[in-house]
Amino acid sequence: KVGDNVGVGCIRDSCLICEVCHKGEECYCVNGFTHTYNTPKKKENCHIGGNPEVQNWGGYSEFDVVHEHFIIKIPEGMPLEKAGPILCAGITMWSPLNHWGATNTEKKLNIGIVGIGGLGTMGIKLAAALGHRVVAISSSDKKIDIAKSKGAEDYVVSKDADSVGRERGKLDLIINTVSAPHDIAPYISMLKTDGTLVQLGCIAAPMQYNQFMLILKRISIAGSLIGGIPATQEVVDFCFKNEIYPDIELVEAGQLDKIYTELQENNSTAVRYVLDIKKSLETTK
């Protein structure tokens, strides 16, 4: 209703007529969804008003008009600066947890989270809040303190055979957030029979693995992309109820070049940077 705080996640439009959209999984729209940022509006089945030639600028816009279907209600009392990353990192981690049964809290699972960055730490928080045993997985032991402070019970160094061996065949689900080419064999070895490795990292280069590792334990390798609108509302409400928020730092536009450089050179903080546009505009006046 008028006066509510609302948000728009990564999706601001889809066809709304295909079977997948009808299931509430708009991110898998058969006709393709429209990104909130840096994308043109669709020529067909478009639900975005205004000039059809003006592309979407997301959070860099002064104002935005969005079809009500794609609006997420932000609960009263939720910090807006922390709500934004939930609409991206939060739903990206919640979606595979939900699809592979982790939001059914009647059964306690053993869940591995690979990559202890902005996505991974959010995944650890969510999986732990759902009551599961969470194992953080990284290529070194540098982030063990960060991982355990977010709710991980155990920690595996994927390049250490002994460390991997301690979790061999114990995990039901592994969510891999790493976006650079790497060896996924250690993760596969840690899965139980019928376990699943979910890839989120959007790695363009082909990745290799031994098929026998899959065949002998009926292991699956899958992918997951953001999440639909109903699931996005679900994770926002869950985070508010359980006081689960991403680790953020408010920044101004003048800091962006430095931040981008730092992220490229050494993304070790697991912090989500949130751009304060209002303050940035005030500073530049």
Q: Using alpha carbons only, what angle is made at residue 275 by residues 270 and 279, rounded to the nearest 5 degrees?
A: 140
Mean pLDDT, rounded, for 103-125: 94
CA of residue 172 relative to chain centroid, distance: 19
* More confident site: 260 or 169: 169
Confidence of residue 285 (pLDDT cuts 50, 70, 90): low
Q: What is the pLDDT of residue 58?
A: 81
- Distance set, CA 43 to CA 26, 106, 119, 176, 251 (Å): 17, 45, 33, 35, 36
Residues 36-71: tens digit of each pLDDT: 988 888 888 888 877 778 788 887 777 788 899 999
Q: Residue 40: its pLDDT value, please? A: 86
What is the per-residue pLDDT across 225-251, written as a single tens digit (0 to 9) for each?
999 999 999 999 999 999 999 999 999
Tens-place pLDDT, residues 83-106 = 999 999 999 999 999 999 999 878
Q: What's the mean pLDDT when you consider all of the chain?
A: 93
Mean pLDDT of 159-187: 96
- Asked if residues 36 and 56 have their Cβ atoms less than 8 Å apart, the reply is yes
Q: DSSP secondary-structure letter at 191? A: E
What does the pLDDT read at residue 87?
96
- Out of 11-15, 19-23, 41-45, pick the least confident: 41-45
